[in-house]
Amino acid sequence: MKILAVCGVGQGSSLILKMNVQQAVDEMGLDAEVENTDVSSAKMEEVDLIVASGFHEGTLKEALSPVVIVKDFMNVEEIKKQIQEFLDQKGG
Partner 1 sequence: MDERYLQEKNIRIKQEANDWEDAVRKSGQLLVDSGCAGEEYIEAIIEMVKRDGPYIVISPGLALPHARPEEGARREGISIVTLQEPVEFGHPENDPVDILVAFTGSDGDSHLEMLQALAGFLNQKENLEFLRQANSPREVIDYIKNREKGG
Q: How many residues bind partner 1 (CB under 8 A)?
A: 20
Q: Give the nearest distance from C-beta 85 to partner 1 in angstroms.
A: 17
Residues 6+ apart with CB under 8 A from 89: none
Q: Which is closer to partner 1, CB of 71 or CB of 90?
A: 71
Nearer to partner 1, 35 or 87 (CB): 35
Residues 6 or more apart in contact with residue 59 via CB below 8 angstroms: 39, 40, 43
Sole window of 15-23, 25-33, 41-49, 79-87 interacting with partner 1 (rule: CB under 8 A): 15-23
